[in-house]
Amino acid sequence: MPYLFHWGVFLEQASSSETYLDWIVSGLKVTIAVGLSSWIIALLIGSVLGVMRTSQNKWASGFAGAYVELFRNIPLLVQLFIWYFVVPELLPGGDAFKKMSPVTQQFLAGVICLGTFTAARICEQVRSGIASLSRGQRNASLALGLTSSQSYRYVILPMAFRIIVPPLTTEFVNVFQNSAVASTIGLLDLAGQGRQLVDYTARPYESFIAVTLLYCLLNVAVMMLMRWIERRVRVPGFIGSK
């Protein structure tokens, strides 16, 4: 017996005030919110770590290296569970965390986990971006009398960030993909809503197809945004530029 699709299911009432479509829309919003917030955190921490990794100071580069190893060698799911179940037990502020509403707790744990996880990967990208600059750039800026931090601020980082836009695109896309893992601690993001829809409507194919397509669309949107940025900031004279 072939499967009969019933797409009208999304317009049915899930509760007195919502349709199942509203669930999907709210899941999409949560996924976007988690993705963007973690991306900002990851960019901030990752850039700082990337600079530390290339610094002459042994302690700074050692710390950044250890950070990357730690966050790279533990599965994302395990990290998420540690942020959600373990950290609040061990840290002094944990009680305040446990008093928040469950949704806030899941959101915070998801964002912190994804942010710190992605930061390790961005650190490596920033580091390789800085390493790919010719040594002459740093030497020239030092010769002009800039301090080390000034040469990072005015010469090295502006170039490095423009060069690493393409690999950052991959990481940005990955953030949204990885955010689906947050559904395992009960966060009702796109994947979470998808699973809930299956339970409530008994329409697995329609639910999963809708959710999967939305993830693909989100990917396309992110790629287009990053392509646009890439075109605007491309460094003339480097591979890939016109």
Where on the chain is the footprint of another protein (CB under 8 A)? 69-70, 72-79, 81-82, 85-86, 89-90, 92, 173, 176-181, 183-184, 191, 194-195, 198, 204-205, 208, 211-212, 215-216, 219-220
- Token pair 């919110």 is found at 33
Summary count for the chain: helices (H), strands (E): 12, 0
Closer residue to another protein, CB minimum distance, 25 or 146: 25
* Closer of 82 and 142 to another protein (Cβ): 82
Pick the closer one to another protein by CB: 167 or 204.
204
CB of 180 to another protein, least distance (A): 4
By the 8 A CB rule, do 104 and 37 touch? no
**Is residue 229 classed as helix, strand or coil in its secondary structure?**
helix
CA distance 171 to 236: 24
Least spacing, CB of residue 89 vs another protein, in Å = 5
How many CB atoms are located within 10 Å of the residue 218 CB?
Answer: 19
Give CA–CA dist 37/44, Å, rounded: 11
Minimal distance in Å, beta carbon 212 to another protein?
Answer: 6
Both ends of the chain: CA-CA distance in Å? 56
CB of 7 to another protein, least distance (A): 17
- CA-wise closest residue to 190 among 25, 13, 14, 35: 25
Q: Which is nearer to another protein, 132 or 177 (CB)?
A: 177
Which is nearer to another protein, 97 or 142 (by Cβ)?
Answer: 97
Q: Give the shortest CB-159-to-another protein separation in angstroms.
A: 26
